[in-house]
Amino acid sequence: MDSYGSVPSRGGGSRMVMNSPISSTRLDRLVADVAAQEPATVVDIGCGWGEALIRVLEQVPDCRGTGIDLHGPDIDRARASTRDRCVENRSTFIAGDAGSFDDSADLAINIGSYQAFSDVETALRRFHTIVKPGGRLLFGTEIWMSIPTDVQLSNMWKDASVDDCMLLADIVDVIAATGWRVLDLQESSRDEWDAFECGLMRDREEWLVANPSAPGVEEMSRELDEHRRRWLRGHRDVMGFATFVLGPIGKVNLEDGE
Ligand SMILES: C[S@@+](CC[C@H](N)C(=O)[O-])C[C@H]1O[C@@H](n2cnc3c(N)ncnc32)[C@H](O)[C@@H]1O
């Protein structure tokens, strides 16, 4: 800490509800849906700071939950939230790679983090080994709202490719082919995306405004300007986000991936 205060890290997101384009209102709706099943156990793979998992624990008094994420500071934040919200004794948060997770649960959550299990299809197959029969999977992922042009792709992240996402209808086909049924489907709005993108940058923008003569300001400004340019000229209105409540119907067409 110096006279300028500590410099906010990338990925801090202290003002964000979720590290995904999902509003607090939508998260409440999704949690109410899956909490109605009264799961006894829940696991969140790629849980970030655990907001979805913690809301489930708040809604289902006897439920116990485990969250796993690679990012240690997010896990620290999740643990602090469980203490503040009195669900500490029913939750376990693990800082580490979810790849080797081998437990099961009545409810699995995987929002914006299918990468923990490689790609969407592999993740959906893998969740059959985690979600108990009759359970639920709350699954959220980026989608293409339309196929991006080459110019849009060139303005997105480094090496962005049309293969990085799927159209909503194609994801629903993969969901069906991997033995899941869609119980609910919600697409995030542009407002939720704008709040998400601004939230990703907000801690650092606030620091810049508060410390305009601090060392490192120019570099941070350039980085944030580049992030905003890629969003506004690249994926805004091309990339969407869909969240599904899924129920398993067994290992339909799973042979190839097993
Ligand atoms: C976009 S964030 C979503 C976080 C959270 N689900 C949410 O919506 O707030 C994706 C998260 O997946 C985590 N992640 C990616 N690969 C992982 C892996 N192999 N094991 C555990 N976590 C992983 C990242 O660290 C990151 O926190």
Question: What's the CATH number where 108 sits?
Answer: 3.40.50.150
Which is more confident, 114 or 4? 114
pLDDT attached to residue 251 = 59
Protein residue with least CA distance to atom 18, ligand 1:
116
Is residue 111 a part of any domain in this protein? yes
Q: Could you tell me the pTM of the whole model?
A: 0.95
Q: Is the CB of 171 under 6 A from ligand 1?
A: no
Is residue 236 a part of any domain in this protein? no
Q: Is the pLDDT of residue 78 over 90?
A: yes
Distance CA(180)–CA(78), nearest Å, equals 29
Average pLDDT of the chain?
Answer: 94
pLDDT tens-digit readout, 103-148: 999 999 999 999 999 999 999 999 999 999 999 999 999 999 999 9
Strands (E), the chain: 41-45, 64-69, 91-95, 105-111, 131-144, 180-187, 239-248
Between the CA of 47 and the centroid of ligand 1 the distance, in Å, is 6
DSSP helix/strand/coil, 10: coil
Distance CA(6)–CA(23), nearest Å, equals 28
**Mean pLDDT of the 64-87 span:** 97
Is residue 124 a part of any domain in this protein? yes
**Mean pLDDT of the 182-204 span:** 97
Protein residue with least CA distance to atom 27, ligand 1:
48
Looking only at the bridges linking them, the beta strands covering 105-111 and 131-144 are parallel
Confidence band, pLDDT 50/70/90 cuts, at residue 252: low
Is residue 1 a part of any domain in this protein? no
Is residue 82 a part of any domain in this protein? yes
Number of domains in the chain: 1
Q: Please report, rounded to a whole number, the percentage of residues in the chain having pLDDT higher than 70.
A: 96
Boundaries of domain holding 131: 24-145+162-189+241-248
Distance CA(114)–CA(246), nearest Å, equals 14
Q: Is the CB of 72 under 6 A from ligand 1?
A: no
Protein residue with least CA distance to atom 13, ligand 1:
46
Would you mind telling me the total number of residues written for the chain in this entry?
258
Q: Which of 17, 113, 115, 126 to mutate to test the pocket of ligand 1 (most atoms within 8 A of CB)?
A: 113
Is residue 156 a part of any domain in this protein? no
Is residue 256 a part of any domain in this protein? no
